[in-house]
Amino acid sequence: MKAIGDAPGKIILLGEHFVVKGIPAIAFSINLRANAEVKVLNSGRHNGKPKVYTDLYGRVEKCLSRGKIHPYCTVLKLIGLAKGVMARIRSRIPPCAGLGSSSATSLALAGAACYARMGRIDKELVLKAALEADKYFHGKPSGIDTITSLVGGFILFRGINDYEKLNSGSTELRFIVVDTGLPKKTSKAVMKVLSLYNRRKRIMSKVYEAARELIDEAVHAIKRRDYASLGELMLVNQGLLNTIGVSFPEAESIIATAVNSGALGAKITGAGLGGSVIILAEEEKINRVVEAVRSRFSIKSYYVVKTDPRGLTVKARD
Ligand code: PMV
């Protein structure tokens, strides 16, 4: 049996890092997607180790450090396909940019593998397998990336079993994503923030409470389609991310340039210490903001993205 899974990348709009300690966060799936094709091989013909190929790294076994199982192989094993399976993963989501490429690829793989093995989707099993892979990439993931990619649309995330879809006019929103080209390391950033939290609990608990208030106000702003307030809240959130130590000089300069050229708001997205900046600008100002940023910084790339309301989709393949 052959199946194909397809899952979107994501952007954390507000609340990254704070979410690791249970503060709600807002994320949305984007119109850059990853897909995985899985074929269960006839056991008589092939009963060996899984063969997993990716368009970025080739056969994944080749990028294994000795003795360590690749997270994609862990996904297949958890789905019950430890042997006799072939998978091919393709992604349009730039890796290491804070756009959820690892979660989307793991989820697409888990979804396709589940369908190829059982002829149906067991959502709990798919989620469990994808979250396990995320642990490898992220260290201590909150699960926000995987849930956003699974469900699709705008998500108010409180936990893996506690999230809601924000039904709003937000599909009209466009964000400029600026990939600084400085690689982020999620697990390192998460550990850094948790260590600061543990050393400065009294101060940090107040910063985290401010983050909670901010999300409340942002939910109202999104529901009212008040994008000027949303932009302002992005800037406040950026201030909090700076306070907890995950901003970086290039991001601060890009954000200042974006705001000075007319953007409503901007902030880093995801783990920080590298990765991407997201900018919210009105449609007619997008070109001006992009030009201002591109003329001053040697960025790796930029994308203008919008919400993709579709989460994980899976279908049989002939
Ligand atoms: O590294 P990213 O962009 O996928 O995002 C990590 C988000 C954190 O809040 C820092 C960690 C988490 O798992 O929620």
Q: Whose CA is nearest to atom 14 of ligand 1?
A: 142
Q: Which pLDDT value is given to residue 63?
A: 53
Ligand 1 atom nearest to CA at 134: 13
Q: Which pLDDT value is given to residue 93?
A: 93
- 56 against 101, higher pLDDT: 101
Q: What is the pLDDT of residues 127-179, one digit of tens each?
A: 999 999 988 877 678 899 999 999 999 999 999 999 999 866 566 788 999 99
Q: Determine the distance separating the centroid of ligand 1 and the alpha carbon of 186, expressed in angstroms.
A: 6
CB proximity list for 88: less than 8 A, separation 6 or greater: 36, 37, 52, 53, 54
Mean pLDDT of 104-116: 97
- 181 against 238, higher pLDDT: 238
Q: Which pLDDT value is given to residue 66?
A: 54
Q: How many Å from the N-terminal Cα to the C-terminal Cα in the chain?
A: 8
Enclosing H/E stretch for 290:
helix 286-296
Phi first, then psi, for residue 67 (nearest 5°) are 85, -15
Mean pLDDT of 211-226: 94
Mean pLDDT of 93-121: 93
Pull the structure tokens for residue 57. Answer: 């790294």
What residues act catalytically? 145
Q: Determine the distance separating the centroid of ligand 1 and the alpha carbon of 229, expressed in angstroms.
A: 24
Q: Is the pLDDT of residue 199 over 80?
A: yes
Q: How far apart are CA 244 and CA 226, in angstroms?
A: 27
Q: Which pLDDT value is given to residue 169?
A: 55
Average pLDDT, the chain: 91
Residue 241 banded pLDDT, cuts 50, 70, 90: very high
CA atoms within 13 A on the CB side of 240: 27
**Contact 145 CB / ligand 1 (< 6 Å):** yes
Q: Are 26 and 14 in contact (CB under 8 A)?
A: yes
Residue 282 banded pLDDT, cuts 50, 70, 90: very high
Q: Which pLDDT value is given to residue 168?
A: 63
Residue 46 banded pLDDT, cuts 50, 70, 90: low
DSSP assignment of 137-159: HHSS--SHHHHHHHH-SEEEEEE
**Contact 272 CB / ligand 1 (< 6 Å):** no
Q: Which pLDDT value is given to residue 96?
A: 78
Ligand 1 atom nearest to CA at 99: 3
Q: Determine the distance separating the centroid of ligand 1 and the alpha carbon of 141, expressed in angstroms.
A: 7
Q: Determine the distance separating the centroid of ligand 1 and the alpha carbon of 83, expressed in angstroms.
A: 31
For the sheet containing 301-306, what is the strand order? Answer: 265-269, 276-280, 174-179, 301-306
Residue 43 banded pLDDT, cuts 50, 70, 90: low
Pull the structure tokens for residue 47. Answer: 């009963």
**Contact 19 CB / ligand 1 (< 6 Å):** yes
Amino acid at 171: T
Q: Which pLDDT value is given to residue 47?
A: 62
Ligand 1 atom nearest to CA at 16: 9
Q: Whose CA is nearest to atom 13 of ligand 1?
A: 141
Q: Is the pLDDT of residue 67 over 80?
A: no
Q: Whose CA is nearest to atom 5 of ligand 1?
A: 270
| Of 110-114, 170-174, 308-312, highest mean pLDDT | 110-114
Specify the pTM. 0.91
Q: Which pLDDT value is given to residue 76?
A: 94
Residue 68 DSSP symbol: P
Q: Which pLDDT value is given to residue 206?
A: 98
